Amino acid sequence: MVYMGNKVGAEVGYNPHKKGQKAYHPLMAFIAETKEVLHSWFRCGSAYTSNGVVEFMKECMAYMNKGVRVVFRGDSGFFTENYLNTLSQYLRDI
């Protein structure tokens, strides 16, 4: 969670350090070698971990050249059936 006060789109969600405060629940993708942000979504603080992760992953992959090594990292909340099916589809395309 990223604490943002009363910003547009921020909502109360799980935030152990700022209980009851509005926050965002971001999804971010980085290019590790250059430490650049490839893509980001700032979801409302009450968003569940896997909300929108498949669409986010598809948008990230649209930015990538074919044949580029990609590493997906996420916590256990990402691993839904839809996410794993989409991920396996990208693996078949290699």
- pTM for this predicted structure: 0.77
| Residue type at position 16 | P
Q: What is the mean pLDDT of the segment spanning 20-32?
A: 86
For the stretch 57-86, pLDDT in tens is 999 999 888 778 888 888 888 889 999 998
Tally Cβ neighbours within 10 Å of residue 32: 9
Q: How far apart are CA 4 and CA 21, in angstroms?
A: 8
Integer angstrom CA distances of residue 8 from 21, 66, 70, 91: 13, 36, 32, 37
Confidence at residue 93, expressed as pLDDT on a 0 to 100 scale: 63
How many domains are there within the chain? 1
| Structural domain boundaries, residue 87 | 2-92
